[in-house]
Structure 1
Amino acid sequence: MADEAPERAAERAAERAAGRLDRDKLLAARYRAATDRPYLASALYSLSVVPTDGVPTMGVDRHWRCYVSPSFVDDTPVPELAGVWVHEVAHLLRDHHGRAGRLPPADQRDRGRVNIAQDCEINDDLLSDGLPLPEGRMEPRTFGLPEGKVFEEYLPGIPAQDAHPDCGSGAHGVPAPWELDGPGLPKVSGVEADALRRATAEAIRAHQRSRGTVPGGWRRWAEEILEPVVDWRRMLAGAVREAVAWAGGAVDYTYQRPSRRTAAMRGVVLPTLRRPLPRVAIVVDTSGSMGEDALAAAMAEVTGVLREVGVRGNRVSVLACDADVHAVSRVTSAEQVELGGGGGTDMRVGIERALASRDRPNVVIVLTDGYTLWPEEPTTCRLIAALVGEDAPVPPRWAETVRITETAR
């Protein structure tokens, strides 16, 4: 008789395990988890159950299939099973497999340490929430690490392990031997998973507003889902590059360099098209309400991008608006910009001075805390408002806006 295909053998093993699984007990534990933490109910009930002897406890794959050991269900009380349900769905809600795929290759290959770090991220939240978990659980204090971190921060502090948990590809991203795949199996797509994450985050926010009993770890996760933090440096660099490219795309005719077709036209000199290099003005709010570190970081980012795209030297002017809102000085480098002692700067003065200069800029970049008046009408050039501080007021809709919310790299 020919050897059975591995896929069919795994399916037959799952069928045998299904006959021994105490499904009532397992589903009662899920019901308890969903009842006690209703904001997780949609995610918990999206998990499909696959009985198997291959997994020692419970595990998940990236398709939201939950693999369950019948003997583990028999030996574990319902309250602890409820905690394991929450643990496994947390791997999927927090997109651990997606985040693991962005780790350096050496870390990706060490799936045991990755899994332990992920368990540390989850279990400290679950334990602080009063959820009982089985013995042998991994938590930050096991390795002398602080609580409240994400697994990427825990990973360097996790030593190599001879034995380690395996929560499946839904955690570390590497398919486990006991995972099934193929037609006919239940599956949550990537789009559906993203929708579940957002729905869960919204449920957490609503639950918090009505009862205020959501653990801190879940609250922070929900905030990141609903209000993702975007790297302002990347946004600012992209805005500057795009504006410079737009300005540089303008073309004009010049006779300083005649067209090569002139030789074929007797007595006629043809001009050539030229692509001018843009001029950029950086208008800096130097009022006392500006933060020095944020201002320095934003200035360094802007000047670095301009150097990268070839705009430098006398094609870049920096104008500092003093706190008395009337004095505007031209400096030759970012280091010469000094903050004043007052507030209430009117950045219109700096913008108008930049546009009135002989070397009129194509792009104006305004670095400000937002507490200023703006031109009533759109300027005739591209204007980027780099707002320093999370609470900076919003500028006019026609201005391109980037918020500078932190200074650490």
Structure 2
Amino acid sequence: MDKLFAARLFAVRARPYLATALFALHVVESRHVPTMAVDRYWRCYVSPLFVRRTPVEELAGIWVHEVSHLLRDHHGRGDRIARERDLNGPRARLLMNIAADCEINDDVFGDGLPMPEDVVTPDSLGLPSGELMEDYVGRIGLGSGTWRFAWLDCGSGADGLDREWELGPDGADGLSEQQRDAVRFRVAQAVKGRPGDTPKAWKRWAEEVFHAPQPWRDLLGAAVRSAAAASGAGDDYSYGRPSRRSAGVPGVVLPSLRRQPPRVTVIVDTSGSVSDAELGGALLEVAAIARAVGGRRDLVTVMSCDAAASTVHPLCSAEGIPLMGGGGTDLRTGFTRALRTAPRPDVIVVLTDGQTPWPEQAPPCRTVVGLFSRSASGHGSWIEHDPDYEPDAPPDWARVVTIG
């Protein structure tokens, strides 16, 4: 224990913004874990043999590694991935553990914390760095390249799957949900208070913590998922698996209807009536929309539009999307541009204040409108010189969610 706690102090000196989280972990000695592991209740299970044979400096990095799983909510995200992609069982959870390690190990090691030889990194798997757990799950397969990490077990705190050796929700010294949220908030405050010397991934995480989930955000995500899962969205014919009806037409091979991941185009209203705060909120919603369709950023494109539509940008990271505009508003040009894009989107999401004319006819795809609340944005009226003006409501063929 003395060596383990000395390593924790070493970790606090190297990553002072994580001090609250590091001291919140309760240590449980366990001979069932290969190294160190955490459960979702902020207990840290430690192998005595592993502590004895590991240098203090490397133990410090593993302290930071394990607490990063909990701060990034890898257990909750692992549960969502399992539900959305039907990934269950130990093999799938190993895949999630590897993906979660790839997300955090870029930031854990270096700058005073040496990297162990057998640590999992995106480079060791031939993958790009700087992506999220959800992205890596889709890129990693349980082949010969990943079975060398079969020993890896960071506990349910890394993938959401409870282990037999964990104490569970009724065990001693676990943190309640409110206590866990308090720790995350304190760490986010510490990250935002250290400008300039904190990794970008931690800064993005802290920004998301300060924007707590709101009911309308859940509604927007549900609306996007519903549109993406609707009949016709992402459907296409494929000869990869012939239709069963081919048996009734001898000599003819009929294609079967296969569901493909839906493509989503997000049109962001950048007219002069939309505030800078609303544009910043729109970028947060773009990231949430990507998660709502299973984390496939390659299937989400973003377009800014005032009276004219700008270039369509693929979603790499929300922070890098240029939102250009500032003039009048006519989102009809955005709809036209989106529908002319090849391949055509299955779902169009519009983030706007509503001060725009709408297409007369419904587009040939599902449409979700995120409507900025005027009271939430601080605007007293729709048009400064005409307080009695009210724009036309979004058409009936669109699913409307009020934002704010």
Q: Which residue of 1 aligns with 2:157?
A: 170
Q: Which residue of 2 aligns with 1:287?
A: 307
Contact 2:29 2:48 in 1 (8 A): yes
Aligned-pair CA distance for 1:29: 0.7
Letter in 2 for 1:58: M
What are the residue-to-residue correspondences of 1:206-225 with 2, within 5 Å? 206-208=193-195, 212-225=196-209
What are the residue-to-residue correspondences of 1:251-262 with 2, within 5 Å? none
Aligned-pair CA distance for 1:183: 5.4
Counterpart secondary structure, 2:103: helix
> Which of 96, 99, 116 is the equivalent residue of 1:134?
116
Contact 2:27 2:44 in 1 (8 A): yes
Q: Mean alpha-carbon deviation: is it higher for 219-228 or for 196-205? A: 219-228
Contact 1:366 1:383 in 2 (8 A): no
Which structure has the larger Rg? 1
Q: Which residue of 2 aligns with 1:259?
A: none
Counterpart secondary structure, 1:29: helix
Contact 2:14 2:113 in 1 (8 A): no
Letter in 1 for 2:24: S
Do the aligned partners of residues 151 and 319 (structure 1) sit closer, same or farther apart at CA in structure 2, a change above 3 Å counting?
closer
Aligned-pair CA distance for 1:293: 9.2
1:375 to 2:380 alignment: no
Q: Which residue of 2 aligns with 1:204?
A: 191
Aligned-pair CA distance for 1:185: 1.2
Aligned-pair CA distance for 1:378: 7.9
Aligned-pair CA distance for 1:221: 1.1
Aligned-pair CA distance for 1:118: 0.5
Letter in 1 for 2:200: G
Deviations 1:219-257 (A, max 9, x none): 11111211368897954998xxxxxxxxxxxxxxxxxxx
Q: TM-score if structure 1 supplies the norm length? A: 0.55
What are the residue-to-residue correspondences of 1:82-231 with 2, within 5 Å? 82-105=60-83, 106-109=86-89, 110-127=92-109, 129-160=111-142, 161-162=146-147, 163-181=150-168, 185-208=172-195, 212-227=196-211
Do the aligned partners of residues 195 and 229 (structure 1) sit closer, same or farther apart at CA in structure 2, a change above 3 Å counting?
closer
Structure 2 CA distance for aligned equivalents of residues 294 and 93 of structure 1: 42
Contact 1:101 1:108 in 2 (8 A): no
Deviations 1:126-154 (A, max 9, x none): 23555213221101011111111111100
Counterpart secondary structure, 1:101: helix
Aligned-pair CA distance for 1:165: 0.6
Aligned-pair CA distance for 1:76: 0.9
1:44 to 2:55 alignment: no
Do the aligned partners of residues 291 and 113 (structure 1) sit closer, same or farther apart at CA in structure 2, a change above 3 Å counting?
farther
Structure 2 CA distance for aligned equivalents of residues 136 and 177 of structure 1: 25
Q: Mean alpha-carbon deviation: is it higher for 173-182 or for 151-160? A: 173-182
Q: Which residue of 1 aligns with 2:8?
A: 30
Q: TM-score if structure 2 supplies the norm length? A: 0.56
Structure 2, gaps ≥5 residues long: 224-269, 272-305, 309-326, 340-344, 364-370, 395-400
Counterpart secondary structure, 1:45: helix
Contact 1:55 1:67 in 2 (8 A): yes
Q: Which residue of 2 aligns with 1:261?
A: none
Letter in 1 for 2:117: E
Q: Which residue of 1 aligns with 2:301?
A: none
Do the aligned partners of residues 331 and 224 (structure 1) sit closer, same or farther apart at CA in structure 2, a change above 3 Å counting?
closer
Letter in 2 for 1:75: R
What are the residue-to-residue correspondences of 1:11-22 with 2, within 5 Å? none
> Which of 38, 60, 64 is the equivalent residue of 2:42?
64
Do the aligned partners of residues 234 and 112 (structure 1) sit closer, same or farther apart at CA in structure 2, a change above 3 Å counting?
same
Contact 2:330 2:356 in 1 (8 A): no
Do the aligned partners of residues 121 and 376 (structure 1) sit closer, same or farther apart at CA in structure 2, a change above 3 Å counting?
same
Counterpart secondary structure, 1:176: coil
Q: Which residue of 2 aligns with 1:296?
A: 335
Structure 2 CA distance for aligned equivalents of residues 113 and 366 of structure 1: 39
Do the aligned partners of residues 374 and 159 (structure 1) sit closer, same or farther apart at CA in structure 2, a change above 3 Å counting?
farther
Deviations 1:32-79 (A, max 9, x none): 111222211111101001011111110001111100111111111111
Letter in 1 for 2:307: S
Letter in 1 for 2:99: A
Structure 1 CA distance for aligned equivalents of residues 108 and 183 of structure 2: 20
Contact 1:96 1:171 in 2 (8 A): yes
Q: Which runs of 4+ in 1 moved over 6 A?
A: 229-233, 291-294, 297-301, 318-321, 365-368, 381-384
Structure 2 CA distance for aligned equivalents of residues 115 and 297 of structure 1: 43
What are the residue-to-residue correspondences of 1:236-315 with 2, within 5 Å? 287=307, 289=327, 295-296=334-335
Aligned-pair CA distance for 1:320: 6.5
Structure 1, gaps ≥5 residues long: 1-22, 239-283, 306-317, 322-329, 336-364, 385-399, 404-409
Do the aligned partners of residues 237 and 134 (structure 1) sit closer, same or farther apart at CA in structure 2, a change above 3 Å counting?
closer
Contact 2:373 2:402 in 1 (8 A): no
Structure 1 CA distance for aligned equivalents of residues 41 and 10 of structure 2: 23
Contact 1:59 1:67 in 2 (8 A): yes
Q: Which residue of 2 aligns with 1:260?
A: none
**CA RMSD, aligned part only?**
4.2
Counterpart secondary structure, 1:207: coil
Structure 2 CA distance for aligned equivalents of residues 202 and 375 of structure 1: 42
The number of residues matched between the two structures is 267
Do the aligned partners of residues 376 and 143 (structure 1) sit closer, same or farther apart at CA in structure 2, a change above 3 Å counting?
same
Aligned-pair CA distance for 1:217: 1.6
Structure 1 CA distance for aligned equivalents of residues 373 and 47 of structure 2: 59
